Chain A
Amino acid sequence: MGSSIRKAVELILSADPELLNILSTTARVCLSSSILALIIGVPLGILFGAERFPGRRVLLVLNRTLIGMPPVVCGLLFYMLFSGVGPFRHLHLLFTVKLMIIAQVVLITPIIIGVMETFVADTAPALRETARGLGFGRMKEYRLLINECLYSIFSSYLLSFARAIAEVGAVAMVGGAIAWKTNVMTTAIMMYTNRGSFTLGIALGLILLSLSLLVNIILSVMQGRLSR
């Protein structure tokens, strides 16, 4: 452990260009995918939580199943679809950062929908009563609901960011861990492990965890302020 910590610090201090490239790719992939998933997932989650419509229960069960989708299966699916012989071959997206983001959005959105749905389903009935009592219109009712949800939106974002940064199965399949292009922290750790350089793997793991810690601290502070 000691040598890994030393190695991690050495790596950061040396500002190794390959490490910096891996870090920036990681940041690009997991920030974009978690934010995109948030944009798609929050409205859907609120809809599922607040409204009652036919087929809602079926969709919810499907969503819960998707939450449990193994990343490597998701990756394999996208690999097949975007392969040179796959149906979407003309898009030339395999082994690009874009496809890694898309695959992660597919993995993460169900989680956000699930978290938001649970919260909204709990809050919406009481809030709706209040809103109706005050004579609010539908738009105003939703605005009130979103205001009420801010804290959970942050929570669900933290969850999805964690999933994105920790995920390896899907990004390894669709990204191919190509150096200087699609290699992210988790795939680099896997590569070093396969090579038998466990110390370097742990060192990268420590860097990844500290970055995650930093992002979480910032977001938690923001969460505390916004929802006060």
Chain B
Amino acid sequence: MKKIVSLMLALVMFFALAVCGQSTAPAFAAAEEPAPAEEAAPVEEPARETDAVVVDTCILLEADDAMINNYSLLAVNPEAPWVDADGNPVSDVAINTVGAAALINWLLSEEGQELAANYGFEEYGEYLFYLKDDRPVSTAEIPAATEENRLIRLSTTTSVNDSGLLGYMLPIFEEKYGYEVEVYSAGTGKSIANAKMGNADLILVHSKKQEEAFIADGFSCVIDGMEAERLNWMYNYFVLCGPSADPAGVKDAADVKAAFAAIAEGKFPFISRGDGSGTHTKELSLWPEELGITAEAESFKDYTDWYISANTGMGACLVMAEEMNAYILTDKATFLTFVANDGVMG
């Protein structure tokens, strides 16, 4: 027993030492890794300091109508033509339609809309999401949760989750009506695939093409009081970002397509999400058609010297673009969060 206690104490002391060493004497860190520290530490340290503070990547092109980023809500249809992994039809898939309708009605109610529209101003000095003028509005009464429909599974895209919008809005909804919302967050492609496997009650995504395919396949339904399956309620803009030096001159491009053509023309590095997300889908639609860039790896195998298919999240891609002085298409909300945290996405 004594042994255990003394070992634990030793561990705690080790940590305490590490903390004190870190905050008071920077030499402590150097002592841990003696070899590289001796040669590189004095030069490297200050350089890294300045890098962390100044984000060079900046918004070069924005508010172009071709770069509008529409977010839509779609309720999952319990009667959808479900098929299992082998393509055999499955009939009794449990979908919480009541819960999905409650959440949609709340998001489209006056309270929900106001929360969404005002989000981000305090923190970033800019609104991150705007409400569509022709958005569907709900005045339906929202029923309180019951034992069967308490759990709502929302499959969504990373941008609404990572920007903090859902973390800000959902607790208010949960508190008021007693539901519990489980947020599954992934790129739009994966989010929709997750819903098609019967693992979501509603989706909140941003890729019109994929949403329309989802509806055409019969996976979405119209909830009471709404006119269509696809409830396009808020938007923001994608922005084309890149190094402040802007070697491709996209700042002066006539429009976003011309900007993308200039990047391809000069073979300036471009980071693509490459993960089937909404941002990826949008980016693919902006390249000059003759390049033939699609989601297939085959289609950009001749451009690998400048076209980088990163296959990762928006934040990680932004870090990569910053490191490589590359151009990148991103949603504005994530970019503002990235810059506000000095390029580390706290």
Given A85-B83, A85-B90, A217:B153 Cβ within 8 A: no
Q: Which residues of A contact B83 (CB under 8 A)?
A: 85
A residues 75-113 touching B (CB-CB < 8 Å): 79-80, 83-87, 89-90, 92, 94-95
0 or 1 for each of A9-48: is its CB under 8 Å from B? (1 = yes): 1000000000000000000000000000000000000000
Instruction: Give bound CA distance, A221 to B11, whole Å.
Output: 14
Residue of B nearest to A217 (CB): B7
Q: Does B62 contact A (CB under 8 A)?
A: no
**Contact between A196 and B319, CB atoms less than 8 A apart:** yes
**Contact between A89 and B313, CB atoms less than 8 A apart:** no
Report the minimum CB–CB distance from A92 to chain B (whole Å): 7
The listed residue with most B CB atoms (<10 A of its CB), out of A89, A181, A196, A210, is A196
**Contact between B22 and A214, CB atoms less than 8 A apart:** no
**Contact between A6 and B313, CB atoms less than 8 A apart:** no
Report which of A89, A176, A195 forms a contact with B198, defined as CB distance below 8 A: A89
**Contact between B90 and A210, CB atoms less than 8 A apart:** no
Given A85-B82, A221-B7, A95:B199 Cβ within 8 A: yes
**Contact between A5 and B197, CB atoms less than 8 A apart:** no
Given A86-B85, A213-B11, A194:B313 Cβ within 8 A: yes
Q: Which of B243-251, B298-306, B338-346 contacts A (4 or more CB under 8 A)?
A: B338-346
| A interface, size bucket | 35 or more
Q: Does B172 contact A (CB under 8 A)?
A: no
Given A85-B198, A196-B313, A196-B319, A80:B85 Cβ within 8 A: yes
Q: Does A200 contact B (CB under 8 A)?
A: yes
0 or 1 for each of B77-101: is its CB under 8 Å from A? (1 = yes): 0000011110000101111000000
**Contact between A193 and B23, CB atoms less than 8 A apart:** no
Q: Which residues of A contact B295 (CB under 8 A)?
A: none
Q: Give the total of B residues in contact with A, Cβ under 8 Å.
A: 45
Residue of B nearest to A190 (CB): B313
Report which of A2, A178, A210 forms a contact with B29, defined as CB distance below 8 A: A2
Q: Which residues of A contact B22 (CB under 8 A)?
A: 2, 5-6, 9
Q: Which residues of B contact A94 (CB under 8 A)?
A: 199
Q: Does A1 contact B (CB under 8 A)?
A: yes
**Contact between B93 and A197, CB atoms less than 8 A apart:** no
Report which of B29, B197, B318 forms a contact with A85, defined as CB distance below 8 A: B197
Residue of A nearest to B33 (CB): A1
Given A83-B199, A84-B95, A85-B84, A95:B182 Cβ within 8 A: yes
Given A83-B197, A86-B84, A1:B11 Cβ within 8 A: no
Given A5-B19, A6-B19, A80-B85, A194:B158 Cβ within 8 A: yes
Report the minimum CB–CB distance from B170 to chain A (whole Å): 10
What are 14 A-B interface contacts by the 8 Å CB criterion?
A: A2-B22, A9-B19, A84-B82, A84-B197, A85-B82, A85-B90, A85-B197, A89-B94, A95-B199, A194-B158, A196-B316, A199-B344, A199-B346, A217-B11
A-B residue pairs, 3 tightest by C-beta: A84-B198, A196-B315, A194-B313
